[in-house]
Structure 1
Amino acid sequence: MTTEPQRFEVLIVPEHAEGHDPGTLSEVALRSALVAATGETGASGYPRFAGEGIVADIDPATRTVEALLIDGSEIDYGLSARVREVGR
């Protein structure tokens, strides 16, 4: 049984929201999606998660998004991705 998270919520937020508490980021998020582990490792070397048009390589230990595609495209400048764990 793995102890790594299997699902995350990815929140796409303006860069100026970086300091906000992850619990309240949904208030300023421009987009959010629930992503689940695919069982694959991405090009970044981290586990790949996908869902609702978002594919992300996420470091489960630090909750850092290492690579991200939104509807097949890279994220726009001025935006950042944050994650929070959701139920297993």
Structure 2
Amino acid sequence: MRTHPQRFEILVVPQHAEGRDAAHLTEVAIRSALVEATGETGASGYPRYAGEGMVADIDPETRTVEALLVDGFELDYGLSARVVTPGAGEGR
């Protein structure tokens, strides 16, 4: 049986932000949240994570955000969500 990560950090970044370098994404993020596994499965079929105003269904294998609500709302056009390991952008 495979276990899923219990915690991720979600960064909301402008859609034009390039790359996956956590330090760069952390610099350009307009919001971030540490989310923890809820033990539930979301409507997307992926594990649900929640915290700091965000609720997300995340594919733990690819670290893709499959569904996301921020303070109960979907993201505005021009924004995207990226998943990083908690604290990966620290030490700048």
Q: Which one is further off, 39-48 or 11-20?
A: 11-20
TM-score normalised by L of structure 1: 0.91
1:49 Cα offset (Å): 0.2
The alignment covers a number of residue pairs equal to: 87
Give the Cα separation in 2 of the matches to 1:23 and 1:59. Answer: 22
Supply the distance in 1 between the matched residues of 2:43 and 2:18 (Cα, whole angstroms): 25
- Structure-2-length-normalised TM-score: 0.87
Residue 34 of structure 1: SS of its match in structure 2? strand
Where has structure 1 moved over 2 Å in runs of 4 or more? none
2:25 is matched with 25
Question: Aligned equivalents of 1:43 and 1:68: distance in 2?
Answer: 11
Q: For the residues of structure 2 that align with 1:12 and 1:75, how far apart are their CA atoms?
A: 9
What percentage of aligned pairs have identical amino acids? Answer: 76
CA RMSD of aligned residues (A): 1.7
Unaligned residue ranges in structure 1 (runs of 5+)? none
